[in-house]
Amino acid sequence: MNSLTASDSVIVPVQCEYFALEGLGKLLNTIKIVQQRLNPQLVIEGMLLTMYDSRLRLANQVVEEVKTHFQQFVFDTVIHRNVALGEAPSHGQTIIMHDATSKGAVNYLNLAREILQKNSLTRIPDHERTVEVATEE
Residues pairing with 90 in the sheet: none
Strands ordered across the beta sheet of 9-15 = 9-15, 43-52, 74-80
Q: What are the residue ranges spanned by the domains of the chain?
A: 1-81, 82-137
Q: What is the dihedral of CA 85, 87, 90, 91, to 10 degrees?
A: -100
pLDDT tens figures, 6-36: 999 999 999 999 889 889 999 999 999 999 9
Q: For 93-133, what is each residue's pLDDT tens digit?
A: 999 999 999 999 999 999 999 999 888 877 767 666 666 66
Measured from the Cβ of residue 97, the count of other Cβ atoms closer than 10 Å reads 11
Task: Compute the distance between CA of residue 129 and CA of residue 110 in angstroms, rounded to an integer.
Answer: 8
